[in-house]
């Protein structure tokens, strides 16, 4: 079976009706790019930069310097040979803690994490933005911002990117002046106020891991409530399908980069909702591609629209299972 999948590496990623689907890889370190290239990924849809900031107890510096970050980002860009690399800014806190920052918050998932943490540490954030911008001189880079929920957070982030650009210009350091900036849609408030994001952002990426956590109020790392963590909860499906539809209508590219994107049980459902970009662990890419190659959008779309109107969990599960047999 693995051998059969391996043969799909160079097969164009098209549905049966000929619609091109973009398949991207999620990575944690630049070296993971080799796996992404191996699986025939069209690019990196999610470079989780926080892994450069974690596990540094043996390091002289608590945080990676601008140069250290730049070298890592540049290495990924070069390894991808002209394919886009989406670098997510630091998504620290909750399930991804820094070694030295003791977590004292009662609810760290609802606390000072990700973009909230970055905006509270402007010098650290500026250092990362400069490093990402510098890497964009070596190939296509996109910048992705996690956990945005408020208009002022978008404004402050864009302002800091402008500040980083102004500094680099002043220092005559090269970067891509039109580097695309995108938002993770992973807080229900963001999904419910999408026009705020569409107006200001070049692209969007649905973080289903957190979107499910926050929609269902289920801590994604708490085993005691793991049985309630349900990607097919009708509230989750509503947020996913409306977000994908609104983005598509506005012509803003949107991907899914949470676990759902790499789950072959979900591929047809997401295709039917209108998703055209999937980002996942490289090891999942060819099985998802296999699913895509055997999918017909004109068959999936009407059935998926019906699923969006079901509220009974059992009926939803059956309908999604049935999608796989169409």
Q: Which residues bind ligand PEP (CB under 6 A)?
A: 46, 48, 91, 186, 207-210, 257-258
Kindly report the number of other CB atoms within 10 A of residue 150's CB atom. Answer: 15
- What does 30 interact with, of Mg ion, ligand PEP, none (CB < 5 to 8 A by kind)? none
Q: Specify the residue, 207 or 272, whose C-beta has the smaller distance to ligand PEP.
A: 207
- Cβ–Cβ under 8 Å, residues 98 and 118: no
- Closest approach of Cβ 131 to ligand PEP, in Å? 19
User: Which residue number, 168 or 269, has a Cβ lying nearer to ligand PEP?
Assistant: 269
The CB-of-315 to ligand PEP minimum distance in angstroms stands at 26
Q: By the 8 A CB rule, do 45 and 86 touch?
A: yes
Q: How far is CA 116 from CA 122, 159, 189, 254, 313, in A?
A: 10, 15, 15, 23, 35
**Residue 153: contacted member of ligand PEP, Mg ion, none (CB under 5 to 8 Å, by partner type):** none
C-alpha radius of gyration, the chain, whole number: 20
Q: How far is the CB of 221 from ligand PEP (least distance, A)?
A: 11
Instruction: Pick between residue 9 and residue 108 the one whose CB is nearest to ligand PEP.
Output: 108
Q: Which does 288 bind (CB under 5 to 8 A by kind): ligand PEP, Mg ion, none?
A: none
The yes or no reply on residue 93 touching Mg ion (CB under 5 A) is no
Q: Which is nearer to ligand PEP, 143 or 257 (CB)?
A: 257
206 phi, psi to nearest 5 deg: -80, 120
Q: Name the residue nearer to ligand PEP (CB basis): 151 or 221.
A: 221
The residue (of 210 and 263) whose beta carbon lies closer to Mg ion is 210
CA dist list (Å): 56 to 61, 87, 199, 211, 253: 8, 20, 38, 29, 35
**Residue 219's binding partner, choosing from ligand PEP, Mg ion, none, with beta-carbon cut-off 5 to 8 A by kind?**
none
| DSSP H or E run through 206 | strand 203-206
> 248, 242, 89, 62: which is closest to 154 by C-alpha?
89
- Closest alpha carbon to 272 in 320, 210, 309, 229: 320
Binding mask 171-210 for Mg ion (x = CB under 5 A): ---------------x--------------------x--x
Size of interface with Mg ion, in residues (CB under 5 A): 3
Nearer to ligand PEP, 48 or 130 (CB): 48
* Least spacing, CB of residue 17 vs ligand PEP, in Å: 28
CB of 259 to ligand PEP, least distance (A): 7
The sign of the torsion formed by the CA atoms of 199, 202, 203, 204 equals negative
Minimum distance between the CB of residue 183 and ligand PEP, rounded to whole angstroms?
Answer: 12
299 CB-contact burial (10 Å; exposed 0-12 / middle 13-18 / buried 19+)? middle
265 binds, among Mg ion, ligand PEP, none (CB under 5 to 8 A by kind): none
> Considering CB distances under 5 to 8 angstroms, the limit depending on partner class, which of Mg ion, ligand PEP, none binds residue 257?
ligand PEP
Report in angstroms how near the CB of residue 168 gets to ligand PEP at its nearest.
27
Instruction: For CA atoms 222, 239, 36, 129, give the dihedral sign.
Output: negative
Between the alpha carbon of residue 106 and those of residues 95, 110, 134, 255, the distances in Å are 13, 9, 37, 32
> Least separation, in Å, of the C-beta of 184 and ligand PEP?
7
Nearer to ligand PEP, 210 or 263 (CB): 210
Q: Which residue has the tokens 């892994």?
A: 51
Helix (H) or strand (E) holding 74: helix 66-79
Residues near Mg ion, by CB under 5 A: 186, 207, 210
């Amino acid at each position: 079976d693995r051998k059969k999948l391996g043969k799909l590496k160079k097969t164009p990623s098209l549905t049966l009706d000929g619609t091109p689907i973009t398949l991207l890889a999620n990575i944690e370190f630049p070296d993971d790019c080799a796996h992404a290239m191996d699986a025939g990924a069209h690019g990196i849809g999610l470079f989780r930069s926080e892994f450069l900031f974690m596990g540094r107890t043996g390091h002289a510096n608590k945080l990676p310097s601008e140069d250290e970050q730049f070298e890592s980002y540049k290495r990924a860009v070069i390894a991808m040979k002209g394919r886009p690399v989406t670098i997510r800014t630091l998504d620290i806190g909750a399930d991804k803690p820094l070694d030295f920052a003791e977590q004292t918050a009662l609810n760290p998932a609802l606390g000072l994490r990700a973009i909230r943490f970055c905006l509270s540490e402007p010098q650290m954030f500026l250092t990362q933005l400069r490093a990402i911008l510098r890497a964009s001189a070596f190939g296509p880079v996109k910048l992705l911002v996690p956990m945005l929920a408020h208009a002022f957070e978008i404004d402050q982030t864009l302002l800091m990117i402008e500040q980083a650009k102004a500094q680099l210009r002043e220092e005559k350091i090269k970067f891509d002046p039109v580097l695309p900036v995108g938002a993770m849609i992973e807080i229900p408030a963001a999904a419910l106020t999408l026009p705020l994001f569409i107006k200001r952002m070049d692209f969007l990426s649905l973080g289903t891991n957190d979107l499910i956590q926050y929609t269902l109020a289920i801590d994604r790392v708490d085993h005691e409530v793991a049985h309630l963590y349900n990607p097919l909860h009708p509230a989750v499906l509503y947020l996913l399908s409306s977000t994908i539809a609104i983005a598509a209508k506005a012509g803003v590219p949107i991907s899914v980069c949470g676990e759902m994107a790499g789950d072959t049980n979900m591929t047809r459902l997401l295709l039917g909702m209108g998703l055209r970009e999937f980002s996942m662990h490289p090891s999942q890419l060819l099985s998802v591609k296999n699913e895509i190659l055997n999918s017909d959008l004109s068959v999936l779309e009407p059935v998926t629209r019906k699923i969006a109107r079901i509220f009974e969990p059992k009926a939803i599960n059956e309908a999604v299972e049935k999608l796989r047999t169409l």
